[in-house]
Chain A
Amino acid sequence: MPLLLAYSLRNLYVRKLTNLLTATGMALVVFVYAAVLMLDSGLKQTLVATGEDTNVIFVRRSAEVEIQSLIDRRQARIIESQPEVVIGAEGAPLVSKESAVLISRPRRGGKQASNVLVRGVGPAALAVRPQVRLAEGRMFRPGSNEIVIGRALAGRFEDVEIGSSLRFAHREWKIVGRFDAGGSGFDSEIWGDSEQLMQSFRRDFFSSVTVRLADRSSFDTLKARLEADPRLTIEAKRERIFYEEQSRLLSGFIQMLGITLSVMFSLGAVIGATITMYAAVASRMMEVGVLRALGFRRSRILVAFLVEALLLALVGWVVGLSFASLMMQVKISTLNWTSLSELAFRFVLTPEIVLRSLVFALVMGFLGGFLPAVRAARMKIVDALRVA
């Protein structure tokens, strides 16, 4: 190890209590910063995973979410008859004509009620969305009042478990299975037969139509043709983009809150680091004087103290990020402000967050160490030596 680096490291060790406290302050900020980014990335990942690039979702023009959208049966038939739609093994096009309705259910543990999205799906729903598979029980029978629940719902709402019944839309609905949608937004939904659900909810229109393309590059042609069709007042979006857009409002809020909190906390941490580094410089004035006398340039003194502050920040980063990574075990469920339904997701640590939090910690260290390092570098040698 280079001698000067060893010198900086050992000096950090000598004042270990003060430095540990300073690093802890930085660790706390890194924790908050990383946790917020992880939350945001979890939200995005969940919603992005909900959509598939080969799927196209059709909703009424200018409807941001399915519950605002209406597509009548005639329009749905036009969409499913398009040549770009892939034909399934049973000879029928892979299309899911769906209705989406919000119901309010009490959350388990006497908490307030929250919205759950009930999705009526067509027979080809599972073929259109290969990421969704049955995990327990069985699929609902078409034409029956049976429903299946997403895995994220189980345990979070009263009576939402296999074998029990839910009452909504003037009918009793029996839960016969639980599906796993691979951590996507569908995991927070209830699925049933779309015709049955539409009847119960007294509607005669779908909310959306999702089709699977034979060739994903045919999206633009299909979109252009159908959006220009005067019989249709619809908008086509790649399914992935559609769900990704649903994360924007909540994601924007999480990011703003996170950045505000992080900046406020980091001010405290930077001031803490500055005080610590000023104390380090003050207690080592003689050493600075000697180094300068021996021929070390001002710039090397500056770098030596900055390196110390950066090492301090590095310790804070490692500790903060380690604790933040434990958050991956935590599952969050909150209302998605765009779809207005409850959405469950996890804290997700990505390489980008690791890198961003590292840069954040190093910037804190740099800002905290800069003024003390400048002071050390600008010290007159004779004044510094006189302290000894």
Chain B
Amino acid sequence: MTVLRVSDAPTGEDVLIALSDVSKSYRRGGQIVPVLSKLTFDIRRKEFLALMGPSGSGKSTLLNLIAGIDSPDHGSIEVGGEDITLLPEADLADWRAANVGFIFQFYNLMPVLTALENVELPLTLTSLGRRDRRDRAQLALSLVGLSDRVKHLPSELSGGQQQRVAIARAIVTDPTMLVADEPTGDLDRQSAEEVLEIMQRLNRDLGKTIVMVTHDRRAAARARRIMHLEKGDLSYLVEQRLE
């Protein structure tokens, strides 16, 4: 069991996400397979954290728990002081809509919607009118450099462009944190660099807290901290100074 508390650290920066005693196991073929065991650690506000580790180490499960799309067997996950493990299903959905932006490995855009509509989609859950939604989606697309691709369907875009649309969709509601699961895993080097550059900018300039699962060392190098997971437990934490 590893305990890493920000309060223990000399920086004393405020905590956005606090995991306490979090365990998670899966049932596979009648057997219970533990994935995370009694994990306790904090993620600071405006953090850019990379989660690394071998396959099956539990990093994606950890990301899902933080993002509120899976629930732990034990323990609490506080985000901004609110324990999301106590939220009922529907409230948790509302919480995700307001607080979390998702970036997936395979972009996961809606194939029948245009780039603009894909970005607009999360805004349909807000009280914004149609014109405001369109304006915001346009703005988000321009932030990722895709103002000229608004009418294109995902199938008409390259992998890198699709991932940038996915980033625009993730930030359009101005969420507190972004979670990214292997965001460069399906991209060529150049596209991957572009995507990472955008993510770094979002963290640095807009203060977005980012938690990113990656296998890619070059991707992890963009983060402020790298957390290594080994068999469901934290093995070590690297603090990086970025230029």
Contact = CB atoms under 8 A, between A and B. Distances in A.
A380 B89 CA distance: 11
A6 B117 contact: yes
Contacts of B94: 295, 297
Contacts of B95: 295
Given A295-B125, A297-B93, A3 B102 contact: no
The B interface is mostly helix, strand or loop, or mixed, namely: helix
Contacts of A290: 102, 104, 108, 110
A7 B112 contact: yes
A296 B93 CA distance: 6
Contact of A297 (B90, B117, B121, B169): B90
A287 B98 CA distance: 19
A11 B153 CA distance: 13
B120 A3 contact: yes
B106 A388 contact: yes
A385 B69 CA distance: 10
B96 A298 contact: no
Given A298-B89, A388-B106, A293 B113 contact: no
A386 to B, nearest CB: 9
Given A298-B89, A298-B90, A293 B110 contact: no
B70 A295 contact: no
Given A6-B117, A7-B113, A293 B125 contact: no
Nearest to B67: A293
Given A286-B108, A287-B110, A293 B96 contact: yes
A257 interface: no
What bracket does the count of chain A residues touching chain B fall in? 20 to 34
Given A286-B108, A388-B106, A293 B121 contact: no
Given A3-B117, A294-B122, A295-B98, A10 B106 contact: no
Interface string A360-388: 00000000000000000000111001001
B113 A294 contact: no
Nearest to A8: B112
A1 B93 CA distance: 24
Contacts of B111: 14, 287
25 contacts: A2-B124, A3-B117, A3-B120, A6-B113, A10-B112, A14-B112, A287-B108, A292-B69, A293-B67, A294-B96, A294-B97, A294-B121, A294-B169, A295-B94, A295-B96, A295-B100, A297-B89, A298-B89, A298-B90, A380-B70, A381-B64, A381-B70, A382-B69, A385-B69, A385-B104
Given A295-B100, A298-B93, 12 more contacts: A3-B113, A7-B110, A290-B104, A290-B108, A291-B121, A293-B96, A294-B96, A294-B125, A294-B169, A295-B94, A381-B69, A382-B64
What 6 pairs across the A-B complex have the smallest Cβ distances? A295-B97, A10-B112, A381-B69, A295-B96, A297-B93, A290-B108
